[in-house]
Homo-oligomer: A and B are copies of this chain.
Amino acid sequence: MATTHRFLALAEAKFGPMTSKTANACIRYTPERVVAVLDSTQAGRTAQEVLGFGGAIPVVATFADGMTHGANALLLGTAPQGGQLPPSWRAIVLQALDQGLDVWSGLHYFLGDDAEFVAHARASGAAIHDLRRPPDDLDVATGRVREVDSTVILTVGTDCNIGKMTTQLQLRAALEARGQRTAFAATGQTGILLEGRGIAVDSVVADFIAGAAERLTLEAAQDAELVLVEGQGSLAHPGYSGVTYGLIHGSLPHAFVLCGQPSRTHITNNPWVPMPSLTQTIRLHELAMEPLRPAPVIAIALNTFDLTEDEARRAIQAATEETGLPATDVVRFDPSPVVDAIEKFHRARMGELTAAR
């Protein structure tokens, strides 16, 4: 991916800590690529004010306002459930294409298959990038991940949209700072945008979920001792759980890091499903791997952005007391407890591998 993109991030009526995850991750990890956020309901504020990070990146009211900040590409910055194109966005995408801006989308609805968008892109020379478009040569998983020596860590969650990608990105930075050769395997539109490669496992033909996860994991393992696979959905989220389960069985993690958010009481978009406990969630994941090979949950990563610091620290302590596992908020606090757990697990595994040879 060219680093010269200057995105206008479209997040109309949705810019916020939990409602614009593609825009937010781009702002958190590549702020130099985002010149403005389009959300007319919050125009005049800054990313910092809305998200708590992102500095002076301005929120603007119109596409034209965004252009005054030097945008040269449009990023669809939210991922509505179901991944369809909100009707009101069509005019904005067309404006962008007509002005020659490349458009980056993480929707299930592929802009590149939309005849109107294609015609406008062709006329102006703009490019359309559908981050979720899967490769066309996927196949059923075979279990080949078992053959790699790298240690594979998958983030999983008590719910969707809870920090599984962010946790891996924070952990990668920390592990690399300690000199570990670490790879991040992107499995969703936002991770792919940041990493420049990956497969959106929620967008593949259902029979190939695990096959896609297997391919990603094998590729990432080529250059790394530690492979951090981006989790998706949750085994407790009735809409997305199939993707989560397939991702687990395709990536065959040696261990899990479990993500949670202490303030949540129910599963996203499913108020009929109470949030499972950390203990229940751990049991479910460990049992899911049992038929294939045992894989423990080795640490807890809590998302505490909506708690006071005191509340956050108490929640972290409570998680450790409940599970017996190291826990922290890897964004807000020192990620060392989780990083230490991964390093310790990896060292023990390497020791066993060496002893066995």
From known contacts A206-B206, A273-B291, A284-B291, infer whether A241 and B235 are also in contact, taking CB-CB under 8 Å. Answer: no
> Is the CB of A148 closer than 8 A to any CB of chain B?
no
Chain B residues contacting A205 (CB-CB under 8 Å) are: 108, 202-206
> Is the CB of A283 closer than 8 A to any CB of chain B?
yes
Pick the contact of A246 from B141, B241, B273, B276 — CB < 8 Å?
B241
CB distance A272 to B143 under 8 Å?
Answer: yes
CB distance A238 to B203 under 8 Å?
Answer: no
Chain B residues contacting A108 (CB-CB under 8 Å) are: 205, 207
Residue-wise, chain A 239-268 has the 8 Å CB interface mask toward B (1 for contact) of 111111111011010000000000000010
Measured CA separation A140–B288 after assembly (Å): 23
CB distance A203 to B210 under 8 Å?
Answer: no
CB distance B288 to A235 under 8 Å?
Answer: yes
> Is the CB of A116 closer than 8 A to any CB of chain B?
no
CB distance A247 to B238 under 8 Å?
Answer: no
Measured CA separation A214–B242 after assembly (Å): 13
> Is the CB of A292 closer than 8 A to any CB of chain B?
yes
Query: How many residues belonging to A are interface residues under a CB distance threshold of 8 Å?
Result: 49
Chain B residues contacting A82 (CB-CB under 8 Å) are: 139-140, 207
Chain B residues contacting A273 (CB-CB under 8 Å) are: 143, 291-292
> Is the CB of A322 closer than 8 A to any CB of chain B?
no
Measured CA separation A246–B233 after assembly (Å): 12
> Is the CB of A41 closer than 8 A to any CB of chain B?
no
CB distance from A139 to the nearest CB of B (A): 5
CB-nearest residue of chain B to A81: B140
CB distance A240 to B283 under 8 Å?
Answer: no
CB distance A210 to B235 under 8 Å?
Answer: no
CB distance A211 to B239 under 8 Å?
Answer: yes
CB-nearest residue of chain B to A246: B242
What are 5 A-B contacts defined by CB distance under 8 Å? A142-B269, A202-B206, A207-B243, A239-B249, A245-B245
Starting from the known contacts A81-B140, A142-B239, A142-B270, 8 additional A-B residue pairs (CB-CB under 8 Å) come to: A146-B272, A206-B206, A206-B243, A235-B291, A238-B292, A244-B245, A273-B292, A284-B287
Chain A residues packing against B (C-beta within 8 Å): 81-83, 108, 139-143, 146, 201-207, 209-211, 235-236, 238-247, 249-250, 252, 267, 269-270, 272-273, 276, 280, 283-284, 287-288, 290-292
